[in-house]
Amino acid sequence: MLKRLPILMFIALLVAVVGGVQAQDEPRVLRIGLTQEPDMLIDYPSNTLLGWSMARFHSQPQWGTNENGEIVPVLIDEVPSFENGGIEIVEDPSEEPLVEGEPAVDMVIRFRIADWAVWSDGTPITAADFLLPQDIATDGISQVVSFRFMGGFPGSVAQGETDKDVILTFEDPNPDWLYGAIVPLPAHILRESYEADLAEGRGFEQNAWIREPTVSNGPFVFDEWVTGSFIRFVKNPNYWKDVWFDEVQFQFYDDVSVLEQLMIAGDMDLTSYILPAARAAELAEENENLAIKTYFIGIRLELGFNLGPNGHPALQDERVRRAIGMGIDRQFMVEEVYGGVAEPAYSWWSGTPWFNEETPIYEYDPEAAVALLREAGWYDEDGDGVAEAHGVEGVDDGTPLEMTATTYADIQHYQDSLLYLQDALSDIGLSFDINNYPVGEIHGSFTSNAPLATGQFDLYLIAWVPGVSTIGTFNPYDCADIPSEENPNGLNGVQVCDERLDELFSMMDVELDAEARQAQSDEIQVIMAENSYTQYLVNVLSVDTYNARLVFQRTPTSDLTPWLYVNEWQFAE
């Protein structure tokens, strides 16, 4: 548990950071409270959701999605489609066909950057700004996260007839082409330094720009970052829409209770970190100046098993993994940890229209779990409450079923959930120690010795965010994406490796028929459940706690453009 800040320190920090921002003759300032700090503000080398969100706060892609999931133009006047000729399926004789006897095809998408789209320094946005991210993604040196680029799908970016025309080419049909939304980078600022770094063997992740992007294309521009205290953005003088706030501050507090007090006092305007949602609802009910919005964006608590060489040998046995799942009472977690503002989860698509109702569900049954562990050779014979190995291949008899576990040190409800798991699983004979790390550290790279990437723990209580706008998602269980020195940013730290899973995820990437994609998703869900490769636990509702005077059309929930309407946010007069 993090120590609470003394009230005097809290007041001093408040004065130092925000001073008298609410005085009527001062600039209009929006204050957003966080309990964690982003690792960077340009997210291409970042695994964290916060880094992704920050990048889209100050800069925007060519198109986005609105609150209804509809594709809308952002840096362009018209979204490409098959109807207007902006999207074409063309034969490509240079490629091997996906289906024998059928021609190989590409999906080509063309868009034109609007004449009014400029960077905050007044420089027009051009095709060169879209080519730069693709060059970074394919330079072979930069340690980038693959799914940050063109949705993780292989492809190319090229200039069209003019420097305002951009051509995206996907090497196969791409049913989720909208994820070819690229946050451009200002080539007139970055190209020279990037190529100089590259010549010296340094990747883009070492460029200072990723923490100080002083030119942007969104309604706000980076101004200052005081580590451990705040990040300040100021109004973009060259944005093509009206912007109400003059300044936005993201302020950092280790202790959620401090955020609660700031919100109650009216000294903070918005936070998503008062969790679980039930706690935020309680505060809003008790304080008339507070309000909340809850929504599901696809965040699922997942207990991942380390199936790599560093993981506990018991986890190689599907019976042990299944027994662990049967020792967890998901409904108890929903009611007691999340105050009823959550729901049990059983698959990667739980809580979406694409959940397979035929997915095998192994409900809470601790007695059956103990019996299954005994069948696998793990049972408590000495009476200390911890199962030991008996006749388990490759494990000395008497070896206790003791493991290690970790979750996010900077998000309280994950810690509460892991403490529940520690208690519940002790009832079936599994003991584990806990050592927690911040989100950015857990999801760091192999070369940074991150806990997940390097397999330092047996159990990982983590969350991926596949989203809710499409059945197609990235694959965090990809055999080829196991982290290593050669692939330091690989997502598959738990080292699940199932060739059929990989095949199905790959098929979903190119299948244009909705029914066929659903069948592929259905099979993935069955394979994951039958093999107990991971344990999906609960769907977590996101919640925004905000000052009731804040009027905003859109909360940060979109898959593509979470801050699409932030320029319109304002305080009620």
pLDDT digits (tens, 9 = 90+) for 235-263: 999 999 999 999 999 999 999 999 999 99
Global pTM reads 0.71
- Cβ of 294: how many Cβ atoms within 10 Å? 14
User: Is 509 within 8 Å of 177 (Cβ atoms)?
Assistant: no
Q: How many CA atoms lie within 13 A of 124 on its CB side?
A: 13
Query: Which structural domains are found in the chain, ordered by start?
Result: 7-59+191-293+544-571 (3.40.190.10), 63-190 (3.90.76.10), 300-540 (3.10.105.10)
N-term to C-term CA, the chain: 40
* One-letter identity of residue 453: A
pLDDT band at residue 555 using 50, 70 and 90 as cut-offs: low
Q: What residues pair up with 343 in beta bridges, in sequence order? A: 539
pLDDT band at residue 207 using 50, 70 and 90 as cut-offs: very high
- What pLDDT score was predicted for residue 10? 31
Over residues 564-568, the mean pLDDT reads 94
User: Is 326 within 8 Å of 368 (Cβ atoms)?
Assistant: yes
Q: What is the pLDDT of residues 108-120, one digit of tens each?
A: 999 999 999 999 9
Lowest mean pLDDT among 20-34, 37-51, 467-481: 20-34
pLDDT band at residue 21 using 50, 70 and 90 as cut-offs: very low
Whether 296 has a pLDDT exceeding 90, the answer reads no
User: Is 136 within 8 Å of 144 (Cβ atoms)?
Assistant: yes
Q: What are phi and psi of 501, to 5 degrees?
A: -60, -50
The crossing angle, in degrees rounded to 10, of helices 318-326 and 366-375 is 170
Q: What is the pLDDT of residues 334-383, one digit of tens each?
A: 999 988 888 999 999 998 889 999 999 999 999 999 999 999 999 999 99
Lowest mean pLDDT among 13-27, 213-227, 339-353, 492-506: 13-27
pLDDT band at residue 285 using 50, 70 and 90 as cut-offs: very high
* One-letter identity of residue 3: K
Q: What are phi and psi of 262, to 5 degrees?
A: -65, -45
- What pLDDT score was predicted for residue 14? 35
- What pLDDT score was predicted for residue 7? 30
Question: What secondary structure letter does DSSP report for 205?
Answer: G
Whether 105 has a pLDDT exceeding 90, the answer reads no
User: Is 430 within 8 Å of 424 (Cβ atoms)?
Assistant: no
Whether 456 has a pLDDT exceeding 50, the answer reads yes
pLDDT band at residue 152 using 50, 70 and 90 as cut-offs: low
- What pLDDT score was predicted for residue 557? 54
- What pLDDT score was predicted for residue 49? 81
Q: What is the pLDDT of residues 419-430, one digit of tens each?
A: 999 999 999 999
Residue showing tokens 């066909």: 97
Lowest mean pLDDT among 98-102, 225-229, 460-464: 98-102
Burial class (CB in 10 A: 0-12, 13-18, 19+), 237: exposed
Whether 443 has a pLDDT exceeding 90, the answer reads yes
- What pLDDT score was predicted for residue 18? 40
Whether 101 has a pLDDT exceeding 80, the answer reads no
The crossing angle, in degrees rounded to 10, of helices 256-265 and 7-18 is 60
